[in-house]
Amino acid sequence: MNWKRFLHYEFWPYWVFYIPAYFYYFYLAIKLKRWVYFSVLNPCMKFGGAFLSSKHNYLKKIPTEWTPKTLYISDFNSLETLTSQLEDNSLTFPLIAKPDMGERGRNVELIATLKALEQYLETINQPVLLQEYIDYPIEIGILFYWDSDRNPHITSVGAKEFCKLTGDGIRTLETLVKDHHRITHRKAILKKRFQTQWHQIIPKGKQLLVEPIGNHNRGTTFLDAREHKSKEMLDWIKNCLEHLPDFDYGRIDLKIESWQAFKNNKGLKILEINGVNSEPIHIYDPSCSIWSAYASIFEHMHIIYTLSKNKLNTQSKTPSLFEFISGARVVLSKKGTPQISYS
């Protein structure tokens, strides 16, 4: 057993870590007498962005200077049509493929070849976004909300440190992966991806990026970056969300060239915008205590409760619990991993 993954909450299954939050949610729902009270927020998103929210619907409203080139694929018909669509949208490999209604980074892949893309689209069985791969070195998540007076507040800034392995001139790639507590559980997947290097000794000092997707379950380290909160960041948020006037609460995930460039509104690309299901990702910083993490989660749950309560004073209709559970079943039914050849 890998004790680091067992002992620290950042590696626990999502549903285990959130058990205390479930009880707090029931308490808040009973107070408001609405099981799906949060769905009154973010009218531009299904269920307020809890799930079943189309990334494409709101990304297309953002100025193109702030977003990657993006192609929406509702249905994969033929390789010839796909090639034409890629050319028409000036998309080249490598590119990012992701479900339009995906959750928690599931089935997001960096695709390097047309063959791999064809395999992905044949097995994903749902609408997909193909995005230009942005190789900026810093990926961040900014969690924010508008209060009842429409003043914006930033409550969390988290940065993502992609998983890299450094060779020691002794161990093979296989051993380096096995010995790394953040990615040892992905040995089978990484073996397919790095099949030609798997049994090779990695030269001393050589760094290898093993996972280009900024997802915690794939080995990415989340860091507390709240010290980078600034007036310039808040002003940019306000300018960005002018294009989403009915947005209340959520997180913007983006890549930036540098923190200084971001301050100057340069070198940034929005990857996606999430709704009420957004987490304050700074809580997964390895130095954050579990008590601080829960305090932050409960704080954000209360913010959602307060915003919802204010809106419910003027808007009474919310989806039924049955509609919400039906939606959850749809999300759960879409689990699975596309079969991709990395050769």
pLDDT single digits (tens) 11-49: 999 999 999 999 999 999 999 999 999 999 998 888 888
Tell me the per-residue pLDDT of 165-194, one tens digit each, with 9 for 90 and over. 999 999 999 999 999 999 999 999 999 999
Residues 6+ away with beta carbon under 8 Å from 324: 35, 36, 39, 47, 50
Q: Which stretch of 89-103, 184-198, 306-320 has the lowest confidence by average pLDDT?
A: 306-320
Domain ranges in the chain with CATH number 3.30.470.20: 26-68+135-162+220-333
When pLDDT is averaged across residues 224-253 and rounded to a whole number, the result is: 93
Q: Residue 284: name the closest of 139, 138, 160 by CA.
A: 160
List the alpha helices (DSSP H) in 125-223. 173-179, 187-193
When pLDDT is averaged across residues 49-54 and rounded to a whole number, the result is: 84
What SS3 state is found at 23? helix
Note the pLDDT of residue 199. Answer: 96
Q: Residue 87 pLDDT more than 80?
A: yes
When pLDDT is averaged across residues 241-268 and rounded to a whole number, the result is: 93
Q: Residue 308 pLDDT more than 70?
A: yes
When pLDDT is averaged across residues 313-341 and rounded to a whole number, the result is: 67
pLDDT category of residue 343 using cuts at 50, 70 and 90: very low
Mean pLDDT of the chain: 90
Q: Residue 337 pLDDT more than 70?
A: no
What CATH number should be reported for the domain whose range is 26-68+135-162+220-333? Answer: 3.30.470.20
Token pair for 317? 């209709």
Note the pLDDT of residue 12. Answer: 92
- What is the CB neighbour count within 10 angstroms for residue 80? 8
pLDDT category of residue 333 using cuts at 50, 70 and 90: low
pTM: 0.91
CA distance 280 to 293: 9
CA distance 142 to 159: 9
When pLDDT is averaged across residues 263-267 and rounded to a whole number, the result is: 91
Tell me the per-residue pLDDT of 101-142, one tens digit each, with 9 for 90 and over. 877 778 899 999 999 999 999 988 889 999 999 999 999 999
